Amino acid sequence: MKIRDMIDTLELELCTGENNLDTEVGRGYASDILSDVMAKTTSGDIWVTNQAHENVIAMVFFKRLAGVIIAGNVRPDDEALEKAKKNNVTVFVSKLDAFEIVGRLYQLGVRG
């Protein structure tokens, strides 16, 4: 599935990464623990988290994830967004909570 196919279903607001909407999503992963994400994600995964700081952006870049969905209408600060833009990282914000996002991803066929 492509990132663009998730936008309406997950009620996503694109913050950065407008050039990456045709990126294929491999799997999904949800966690707020960075070491957990480091150990258990693979390139092409979409990550769901409630965290919105610069280390989240670094993790998406380093692991070559398809992007990150920040749940619960939590918004990244300006420094995090600037880092995401500089590194071409796809960042979404959703008003939905993480549980709801993961459930909808599952309905779309994204698995862990």
Give the per-residue SS3 of the chain: CEHHHHCCCCCEEEEECHHHCCCECCCEEECCCHHHHHHHCCCCCEEEECCCCHHHHHHHHHHCCCEEEECCCCCCCHHHHHHHHHCCCCEEEECCCHHHHHHHHHHCCCCC
Q: What is 3-107's CATH superfamily?
A: HprK N-terminal domain-like (3.40.1390.20)
Q: How far apart are CA 110 and CA 112, in angstroms?
A: 7
Q: What is the pLDDT of residues 76-101, one digit of tens each?
A: 999 999 999 999 999 999 999 999 99
Write down the pLDDT at residue 24: 95
Decide if pLDDT at 26 tops 90.
no
Place of tokens 């599935």: 1
Domain boundary assignment for the chain: 3-107
What is the pTM (predicted TM-score) of this model?
A: 0.96
